[in-house]
Amino acid sequence: MAGKTKNVFIAGVGGQGIILASEILSDAALAKGLDVKKSEVHGMAQRGGSVVSHVRFGEEVHSPVITAGEADLLVSFEKMEALRWVQAVAPGGKIIVNTQEIVPSGQEVYPKDIDSQMDERAPGTIRIDALKLAKEAGHIRAVNVVMLGAMSHFLDFTMDEWRAAIESRVPKKTVEINVKAFELGRSAVAA
């Protein structure tokens, strides 16, 4: 990871834990001794609206904002948000999407063609059922940590660094659930 700045774009909707996930990722990068910059937009979070977080880390990072076409990773906690932000991904970048569908406020039905549109725009998208894995870990609110586990395959942090970052950010009573969620997400991408 030395030299090049890593750009991770995290997207989802309010209530999915996007901000917590970006904090955990930032803590893992700091533990590695990297410079970290983070920015988020969460104005509509309380209404289930779009929430995004930009996390950039490397030897020296000057801006927290990832411009279109520069994200090494797009990690989306919801399918429609992946499609909304696909233009953020750099050529050769990876996209990891939770298969969960959350009907946006003000709409009655979920669009039917999101998977085919994603396949057309971003072949090779990695899809995981993070909600199912979070339930398996012990709580549906661990979707965000399942997604961190999935993204961990593409980042150079040790399990000790991830675990310390998780422990520093989640309530003590949920640490083991979150560590299990992380491991399940990591295994889902390995499979």
171 lies in some domain: yes
1 lies in some domain: no
19 lies in some domain: yes
133 lies in some domain: yes
User: Which string of b and e fits 146-163 if b means at least 16 CB within 10 Å?
Assistant: bbbbbbbebbebeeebbb
**177, 142 in Cβ contact below 8 A?**
yes
Question: For the chain, what is the domain count?
Answer: 1
Q: Which domain holds residue 110?
A: 6-190
152 lies in some domain: yes
* Own/partner long-range contacts of 36-43 (Cβ < 8 Å, ≥24 apart): 36/61, 37/61, 37/62, 37/63, 37/64, 38/64, 39/64, 39/65, 42/14, 42/18
16 lies in some domain: yes
pLDDT in tens, the chain (191 residues): 446 899 999 999 988 999 999 999 999 999 999 999 999 886 555 556 789 999 999 999 999 999 999 999 999 999 999 999 999 999 999 999 999 998 876 677 888 899 999 999 999 999 999 999 999 999 999 999 999 999 999 999 999 999 999 999 999 999 999 999 999 999 999 87
- pTM to 2 decimals? 0.93
